[in-house]
Chain A
Amino acid sequence: MTTTYEAGSYDVIVIGAGHAGVEAAYAAAKMGAKTLMLTISLDMIAFMPCNPSIGGPAKGIVVREIDALGGVMGRVIDKTHIQMRMLNTGKGPAVRALRAQADKVLYQREMKRLLEEEENLTINQAMVDELIIEDGTVTGVVTQTGGIYRAKSVIVTTGTYLRGEIIIGDVKYSSGPNNQRPSIKLADNLRELGFDIIRFKTGTPPRVNSKTIDYSKTEIQPGDDEPRAFSFETTEFIMDQIPCWLTYTSAETHDIINNNLDKAPMFTGLITAEGPRYCPSIETKIVRFNDKPRHQLFLEPEGRDTQEVYVQGLSTSLPENIQREMLKSIPGLENAEMMRAGYAIEYDSVVPTQLWPTLETKLIKNLYTAGQINGTSGYEEAAGQGLMAGINAAAKVLGKEELILKRSEAYIGVLIDDLVTKGTNEPYRLLTSRAEYRLLLRHDNADLRLTEIGYKIGLISEERYKKFTTKKEQIENEIARLREVIIKPNETTQSVIRSVGGTELKDGIRAADLLKRPEMNYELVASLTPSEIELSNEVKEQVEIQLKYEGYIQKALTQVEKLHKMENKKIPEDIDYDDVPSIATEAREKLKEVRPLSIAQASRISGVNPADISILLVYIEQGKIARIGNE
């Protein structure tokens, strides 16, 4: 029995310092809660165990949302990337997304520096073995080395550390990511407390030495020439970029894999946990899509001061010697030295329907979970949840209002609602198709959607908020102006229209309507009717998008309005579903499990049909009438 001692008392304790943990700790501290962040290793803060990149479709928008709410991911990657690209520029505004290649080490260092500077935040290296629970409420944690830390609320962000097991070929050993110490006792503790635990799997590809790559056999993938940033605060841009490279698997690679499937843990039965479909191992890809002659592989540098290169697309848990053979069969990698082998990792997650939409567990009060422990995958998904858990844990401690983002407000809202309402049977990744209102959830308007909220909860500075309101006003004024101004069909106008192949005007037309023509853009219209004040590119972009796609945006807003009426129909927390008559059995079971907060959330549960919702509505109304009658 370890000797224990009282190690301190806090408002919020965050277990873990990965992408979820750092956001949670930062947000809680910034909001004024006395916060402690505990991590197994101080050298692993904000570590990227998988690919050296942040952002991409949907995920990139999450980073923008985190930034608009006052989180840190966007600010840190803006300072530490080696390359940035805007993706989907040829498509509509709703699906544009920014992606950065990170310098992994710099990213960690910058994150650690930023957290260490935070006033209300204490950072300790310690492994938490146990949660202290009193009367169904968490009140602290006990570490392996005997420290008892008291807290009003605790956030668990254990990532793949929780009973982690690494698998390479026929080797399987207990480990966290990248051979870190795994967290075993806490996993046992969560089971003992009654949490329903599932086992998930994910994987990572081998890393090779850049000096041994023949880049002449690959295609260059440079960053954008334009300055880009995730954070709305960033004013300095890194223009010295490092390219990625593209190569492909060969027929020989496929033969090697096919000939060694009997040694693949994915198929030998060594791996039993569910892996993500969107991030399959190369062996899974080749088995499932065996007609494809080759697969793309991106060679991504892991940083400026390292020769390590991440082979994106080659995630595998085949034996080490087979991995070496595979690499030799890939154009450009014939002589490549493998520095680290790819591996699969299995870990414990809690079934996320055990959480409220605030990420507090239903089982234990003031206990929150965020990130991979909730069944997600991806740094951005983890960070988004970490931020929300941090905000809600601090809000509860400080007596402030909880924050639940709506599906129509943020990808983070979609992510959390999906998790707590539907659960997941594989590591969950955000995709743009998961958002029904993605036209509203754009990369470009994340600040317009969320800055107000970030300011109210105290994560956005006065100065930044002021800048934001100015921008917002400018957008509104310019849109109003363009709706008023009439463009006359004079020679100047016609020549501008002709220059882009449009149909000449017959009569005068409102500037806003002219902008809606497919061939027109803001700059062209503004050349005919310049704004009186100098407008930033961001303002111009907003004016253009909001006017050009007004019809579609309006359609989406009408749908959202309907949804909000249902969101506003709250279900009493003390409702006894067994007392609701006539409801279908399956629906009853699901409702009891998820315990939705609103009628809208209830209607999103699979297995709950419209008739059940109707009955539920009538039941709730009946209860209200009865209450009024009793008073």
Chain B
Amino acid sequence: MEYDTITAISTPMGEGAIAIVRLSGDEAIQIAENIFKSPSGKKLSEEKSHTIHYGHLIDPKTEEVIEEVMLSLMRGPKTFTREDVVEINCHGGIVSVNRVLQLVLRNGARLAEPGEFTKRAFLNGRIDLSQAEAVMDLIRAKTDRAMNVALGQMEGKLSRLIAQLRQALIETLAHVEVNIDYPEYDDVEEMTIPVLLEKCSWVRDEIDKLLQTSSQGKILREGLSTVILGRPNVGKSSLLNSLVHENKAIVTDIAGTTRDIIEEYVNVRGVPLRLVDTAGIRETEDIVERIGVERSRQVLKEADLILLVLNSAEELSEEDERLFETIQNMDFIVVVNKTDLPRKINLDRVEQLANGRPVVTTSLLQEQGVIELEEAIAKTFFEGQVEANDLTYVSNARHIALLHQAKDTIEDAINAANAGVPVDMIQIDVTKTWELLGEIVGDTVQESLINQLFSQFCLGK
């Protein structure tokens, strides 16, 4: 697997202000170019070597903006590995750096093996001979450690689930294969497109579920991204302060150098919240107009939960209504604040607009209603997920990347099946999915397909 493009987070995991995702290999620049957009619109591949570029990472599939980054472009051989290297400087924090890593992985890079950058540096003649032994020991040591970690994670539910998916796939594959290798055996049913589609769709859905729980696992570790939204002077700052005050802030202000977002980490009844607020939304008069601003919209889009604050002492304004409209498809809680003042707001209308979401009344000034709000937050998170303890969390970046790839390949299979491609061609993508899932549990032996073939069907002359 030499020469393919590898990637890894090359800064220590933790809460540094800046983190770096490094790519090395023939396609490093191409991969970066595919996901990077600079304000000038200039192509990365046309830029000079050893230059730094500002811009955004964009998921080419969804066109979603992933991160605001500084990107260093270095062409080989004057790099650490002597190959083309791209270093993506992004915001620190596990969430953002992982998103960047996932994006890079989904776009053609492979997660580096332990010690692989160093290995390449050596193989490409960058490191001298005396260091070779050290490199080999390093590979061994890092691999053993990574294996232990991976094994720990693999025990139990996740590996059982993956095994289940693989079993379904391999049975399907064996069926396809037996049709090919024993075309005249009439006691073996023909694997038809509808049957194949059904199996593939089921696997796709299960992978989807796993990926969803993977982000849920992340939420538990890294916080539910929560945005406080509302017109000026409805009590947003008070809400922020009282949530932070009531609950010990875990991390404060990691305001970056290029983006003035304030993040506060609080733990509300077991639900870690990452309270996100932007200076932009706070300071501006016409917030609805501000929401039109891309960056603010981006913050909203990234939010897992929105706390919409309304003023009980005023009637619902047109602006409020528009805010409801903006967030209508998201998870939100309505906080009707200032109940210490005479009520003018139409609560029935608020309930109507909330459309089933919780509505909590508070007087932050008198410290009333905060407990109810916290309960509502906890409930929102755990509602329908009472089995939270049973969820299978996929947290390993490599596993998530492999699951994403598996999902892509099984979708290729589904699309091909729908387009009328012959079963034995679709089978190529099904096999690939099976192999990718196998990589998660460390098993991609071809022989197992042949074993399946002979245990599932009665064949022979």
Contact = CB atoms under 8 A, between A and B. Distances in A.
Contacts of B385: none
A312 B450 contact: no
Interface stretch (B322-330, B340-348, B423-431): B423-431
Interface string B408-431: 000000000001111111001000
B177 interface: yes
Interface stretch (B10-18, B58-66, B131-139, B270-278): B131-139
A95 B180 contact: yes
Contact of B187 (A95, A292, A556, A614): A292
B129 interface: yes
B419 A518 contact: yes
Contact of B424 (A92, A296, A617): A92
B383 interface: no
A550 to B, nearest CB: 12
Interface stretch (A2-10, A15-23, A278-286, A481-489): A278-286
B132 A614 contact: no
Contacts, number: 144
A566 B177 CA distance: 28
B129 A625 contact: yes
Contact of B177 (A289, A431, A622): A431
A621 B136 CA distance: 12
A606 B444 CA distance: 10
B123 A57 contact: no
B2 A615 contact: no
B460 interface: yes
Contacts of B185: 296
Contacts of A566: 1-2
A267 interface: no
A448 B187 CA distance: 36
Contacts of B184: 87, 221, 296, 298
Contacts of B21: none
Contacts of B119: 614, 617-618
B136 A610 contact: no
Contacts of B422: 91-92
Interface in B427-458: 428, 445-447, 449-450, 453-454, 458
Interface in B186-228: 186-187
B438 to A, nearest CB: 14
Given A433-B449, A436-B446, A518-B420, A614 B183 contact: no
B1 A562 contact: yes
A88 interface: yes
Contacts of B125: 625
A581 B137 contact: yes
B171 interface: no
A602 B180 CA distance: 30
Given A432-B180, A433-B449, A626-B129, A565 B425 contact: no
B428 A433 contact: no
Contact of A313 (B132, B447, B461): B461
Contact of B132 (A221, A436, A621): A621
A433 B181 contact: yes
Nearest to A422: B447
Contact of A617 (B123, B179, B425): B123
B458 A611 contact: no
B420 A562 contact: no
A173 interface: no
A611 B424 contact: no
Contact of A582 (B123, B140, B186): B140
B3 A565 contact: yes
B237 interface: no
Interface string B110-133: 000111100100110100010011
B143 interface: yes
A439 B421 CA distance: 13
B183 A87 contact: yes
A552 B184 CA distance: 27
Contact of A621 (B123, B419, B420, B454): B123
A434 interface: yes
A91 B115 contact: no
A614 B116 contact: yes
Contacts of A619: 132, 136
A88 B136 contact: no
Given A312-B461, A618-B123, A625-B129, A610 B423 contact: no
Interface residues of B, number: 51
Contacts of A626: 129
Interface string A578-621: 00011000000000000000010000001000110011011101
B249 interface: no
Nearest to A556: B428
B183 A611 contact: no
Interface string A550-576: 001001100000100110010000000
A296 B187 contact: yes
A400 interface: no
Nearest to A582: B140
Interface residues of A, number: 61
A157 interface: no
A91 B180 contact: yes
Contacts of A40: none
Contacts of B179: 91
B425 A552 contact: yes
B458 A285 contact: yes
Given A87-B183, A611-B143, A621-B122, A92 B136 contact: no
A51 interface: yes
Contacts of A556: 428
Contacts of B186: 296
B302 interface: no
B205 to A, nearest CB: 25
A300 to B, nearest CB: 10
Contact of B425 (A280, A298, A549, A581): A549
B449 A518 contact: no
A294 B140 CA distance: 55
A436 B449 CA distance: 12
Given A278-B460, A431-B450, A622 B116 contact: no
A91 B424 contact: yes
A621 B186 CA distance: 55
Contacts of B449: 433
B4 interface: yes
Interface string A292-322: 1011101000000000000011010000000
A519 B420 CA distance: 9
B459 interface: yes
A58 interface: yes
A629 interface: yes
A288 interface: yes
B425 A582 contact: no
Contacts of A51: 461
Contact of A615 (B140, B182, B421, B446): B140
A553 B459 CA distance: 30
Contact of B1 (A50, A549, A610): A610
B7 to A, nearest CB: 16
Interface of B: 1-4, 113-116, 119, 122-123, 125, 129, 132-133, 135-137, 139-140, 143, 173, 177, 179-187, 419-425, 428, 445-447, 449-450, 453-454, 458-461
4 shortest A-B CB distances, which residue pairs? A92-B422, A611-B143, A289-B458, A518-B420
Interface of A: 50-51, 57-58, 87-88, 91-92, 94-95, 205, 221, 276-280, 285, 288-289, 292, 294-296, 298, 312-313, 315, 422, 431-434, 436, 439, 518-519, 549, 552, 555-556, 562, 565-566, 569, 581-582, 599, 606, 610-611, 614-615, 617-619, 621-622, 625-626, 629
30 contacts: A50-B461, A57-B182, A88-B424, A92-B422, A92-B424, A277-B454, A285-B460, A295-B187, A432-B180, A433-B180, A433-B449, A439-B428, A518-B419, A555-B428, A556-B428, A569-B2, A581-B137, A582-B140, A599-B2, A606-B447, A610-B113, A611-B143, A615-B136, A615-B140, A618-B135, A621-B132, A622-B129, A622-B132, A625-B129, A625-B132
